[in-house]
Structure 1
Amino acid sequence: MRAALASGLAPLADLVFPPRCPACGLALAAQAGLCGTCWQDVQRPETSDDGVVAATLYGPISRKLVLAFKHGGRVTLAPLLGRMIAARLPTLEGEWLIVPVPLHRRRLWRRGYNQSALLAREVARITGHALAVDALLRRRPTRSLGGLGRAERARVLAGAIVSHPRAGALLAGRRIILVDDVLTSGATSEACRTALLQAGAREVLVACFARVID
């Protein structure tokens, strides 16, 4: 019924908010995603490796989408980005648990939302697997990792991300998909992976929208 209602209201929404490509602003026939040109210009990884699945490589198009979603308040991009992540996932046998990379509460209050949690929610909805939004905690704020070397990034993140004290039974023995928006050096995802494995997780697969390749 909810889907039918949304479908019925779509023409009205398109009238009030004319559909445009979120990357270039080109007018579209419907609120369906990117225009054909931007879709073709999205850079995609040829393969997945190191336990990481990325929907795109960080380039001009993905950068515009990430900046609008993460810093521009365009939370309506979550379904599109989430679909793109889910489309790159391998066949998932058995039960998996979807877990987002956490934000520290100060940044969450300042931004108003955790972009990774919004993406994780979409991935869980599409795949049908369970979602655990608060399985991980960022117990202290961390400085920006930009410009830091691998060892310095690891030092900054040491002990910053832990499993929720009440998530032990939920995580033990589980196969987990860790969802993030952008993977740069992998330091944050590795800190999350370590926390999940220490809590008893059986396997952790990282899924992100954009991956930065040096």
Structure 2
Amino acid sequence: MDAAASPSRSIAGHLRTALGAVGGACAQTARLVLDIALPTLCVSCREPVAGEGVCAECWAKLSFIAQPYCPRLGIPFVYDPGPDLLSMEAIANPPAYSRARAAVRYDDVARTLVHALKYQDRTDLAPTMGRWMARAGKELLANADILVPVPLHWQRGWSRRYNQSAALAKVISRQSGVRMASGALRRVRATEQQIGLSRAQRASNVQGAFKVADERKADVQGRRVILIDDVLTSGSTVTACTRALLRAKAAQVDVLVFARVVDHHRAPI
């Protein structure tokens, strides 16, 4: 699928986002002119679409994750085993975090959405993706104290100009009313891109890369934290972040992502 976004499409997305925050007849007129001049294209198939960046056909191809799933890892089961039964993976290799939830499986359409948000300046996709995440994480959000986005190193943040995880966290905060603690967690060491690395290399790449600064420990200590990221693959990044938050005395750390890799249908044990 062609995920390339033209400069005019990125500009249109930013303009729509800005106009969405402005009320009044002038803003409505401006939005109408913009829709006529630069109609939104589906980020996946590039067909014109009204509204939120994904056409109905591509939306139908997204694989939303719903129960039954492992209560610890959030990976879907092929059948309902009953309450509280864990997946074999959760038992064999328990994660550092308490629970993980994802809105969708990381398939072709989900990958296109993530890459458009992350690398192609399509911040206009964040509201839709964040709303789906808030629905998927409703159970976690009900008892959470703060949202903490996975941080970028300042060098990458400078080149990319925004943090996609923070953009998603802002939407989830508005949807749920849970406070966002941006900057509570810092990436103190620049790391390689995780793409193409093995599981062991991913874990080594992010080891010691995250820290809660002394002056921000009060934001974390005793709090029930939800860590926000775009994708959960091997879990190396969220594990490193979770350990940093727990060292800062967080009471509990859950993980909420837009998409997660599901290798195959999992069976409970």
Q: Do both share a fold (TM > 0.5)?
A: yes
Structure 1 residue aligned with 2:40 = 19
Match of 1:126 among 166, 171, 175: 175
Judged with a 3 Å threshold, the aligned counterparts in structure 2 of structure 1 residues 79 and 147 are, in CA distance, closer, same or farther, namely same
Which of 83, 91, 108 aligns to 2:131? It is 83
CA drift of 1:207 comes to: 0.7
Alignment of 1:1-214 (within 5 A): 4-5=23-24, 9-28=30-49, 30-46=50-66, 47=69, 49-50=72-73, 51-91=99-139, 92-214=141-263
Contact 1:177 1:206 in 2 (8 A): yes
Preserved CA contact (<8 Å) 1:69 1:78: yes
What SS does the aligned partner of 2:147 have? strand
Match of 2:231, SS state, is strand
Deviations 1:63-91 (A, max 9, x none): 11111111111111111111111111133
Unaligned runs of 5+ in 1: none
Contact persistence 2:52–2:125 (CA under 8 A): no
Give, as a single letter, the amino acid of the residue that structure 1 aligns with 2:61: D
**SS class of match (1:209):** strand
Decide which structure has the larger Cα Rg and report it.
2
SS at match of 2:215: coil
Distance, in Å, in 2 between the alignment partners of 1:212 and 1:95 is 24
For residues 94 and 59 of structure 1, the distance between their equivalents in structure 2, rounded to whole angstroms, comes to 30
Deviation at 1:8, TM superposition (A): 6.4
Corresponding pairs, count:
213
- C-alpha deviation, 1:123, in angstroms: 0.8
* 1:39 CA displacement: 1.1
Normalising by structure 1, what TM-score?
Answer: 0.90
What is the RMSD computed on CA atoms of the aligned residues? 2.1
Contact residue 99 and residue 120 of structure 1 kept, 8 A: yes
